[in-house]
Amino acid sequence: MIERLKQLFAAPEEEPVEPDAHQLAVAATALMVQLSRVDNNEDERELEVIVDCAVKAHQITREEARDILDDALNHAEDATSLYEFTGRINEYLDQVQKQALLTSIWRVALADGRIDKYEEHLIRRMADLLHLNHREYMQARHQAEDAAD
């Protein structure tokens, strides 16, 4: 009887709605924005790399990428944790796509010509939240460094 009452008053379970490409782009871009802000020096070069990465990863125009960046900047200010972004990404991207995202994140860190210790720490946390192992983390870093040369 108690179980039937619980079922009666329980909210119906809704099927999770798959996010559209724009939502995933905002989540990925928001991670990059978080990184660009960690050293308290949001550099224009970093923001341009974020736009470049969005254009490449999501096959969109620069104008759409800038709109996504603006959207991500707004969401990043309201974010309480990285999990808001990585949770959604983990649900819908495979390991290869997540490693490509981490490579883009490293590119943002490298945009100003140096990697701050806070940036490196945050990237390590992002990699952990994206369920990427140390090898994938290092491969992403090396790919970003090779692209920067």
CATH number at residue 110: 1.10.3680.10
Residue with tokens 């692209």: 147
CB 49 within 8 A of CB 108: yes
Q: How many domains does the chain have?
A: 1
Nearest 5°: the CA angle 141, 149, 32 is 45
Res 18: pLDDT: 61
In a domain, residue 14? The reply is no
Res 49: pLDDT: 94
Res 25: pLDDT: 86
Question: How far, in whole angstroms, is CA 64 from its chain's centroid?
Answer: 17
In a domain, residue 131? The reply is yes
Q: In whole angstroms, what is the distance from residue 92 CA to residue 76 CA? A: 20
Q: Mean pLDDT across the stretch 4-20?
A: 49
Read off the pLDDT of residues 24-65 as tens digits, 9 standing for 90 and up.
888 899 899 999 988 777 789 999 999 999 999 888 899 999
In a domain, residue 7? The reply is no
Q: 116 φ, ψ to 5°?
A: -70, 150
Share the mean pLDDT of the chain.
Answer: 84
In a domain, residue 1? The reply is no
Q: In whole angstroms, what is the distance from residue 128 CA to residue 135 CA? A: 12
Q: In whole angstroms, what is the distance from residue 74 CA to residue 78 CA? A: 7
In a domain, residue 13? The reply is no
Torsion of CA 94, 106, 141, 27, to 10 degrees: -10
Report residue 67's pLDDT band, with 50, 70 and 90 as the boundaries. Answer: very high
In a domain, residue 56? The reply is yes
Tokens found for residue 99: 């490693």
Domain interval for residue 132: 21-148
Share of the chain above pLDDT 70, in %: 87
Q: Is the pLDDT of residue 7 over 70?
A: no
pTM of the model: 0.82
In a domain, residue 73? The reply is yes
CB 37 within 8 A of CB 29: no
